[in-house]
Amino acid sequence: MTPNGCDCLTPFSVTEGDVITVRGTAVADLADDGEYGFKLFLDDASGVAQISIDAKSGVRVQKIRDRLLTDGEDFCVTRVVGQFAGVNFEVFPRTTRDIRRARPKRDDPCHR
């Protein structure tokens, strides 16, 4: 698998503010984050990356739950790395198109 590269488990991320692509398998269902939206955690075998889906974004959470979170398949999330309230680093997708199923038979499984 491609390493996430967002250093989500460290107190400092060298990729903060950068647009990156995270590829991994969801370690659980989407977690309801109340008024903020949803959290999703992807594991690429080198660590877990946190994905934050803002409640006001254009991401259709039900579509992701119904179509992407199936049978441990890998998927890709592309967007900026940031921090919310200084707690931990997250990837913040803007729309449903930022979250897609990985294509493992390609040289670059996250390329559109």
Q: Judge whether 96 lies within some domain.
A: yes
Q: Judge whether 2 lies within some domain.
A: no
Q: Judge whether 88 lies within some domain.
A: yes
Long-range contacts of 60-63 (CB under 8 A, 24+ apart): 60/96, 61/30, 61/37, 63/96
Over residues 15-55, the pLDDT tens digits come to 777 888 888 888 888 889 999 999 988 888 877 888 889 99
Q: Which helix (H) or strand (E) covers residue 18, if one does?
A: none
> Which ranges in the chain belong to alpha helices (H)?
61-67
Range of the structural domain that residue 39 is part of = 19-101
Q: What is the CATH classification number for the domain harbouring 64?
A: 2.40.50.140
pTM metric for this prediction: 0.76
Over residues 59-95, the pLDDT tens digits come to 998 888 887 777 667 889 888 888 776 567 788 888 8
Our count of domains for the chain comes to 1
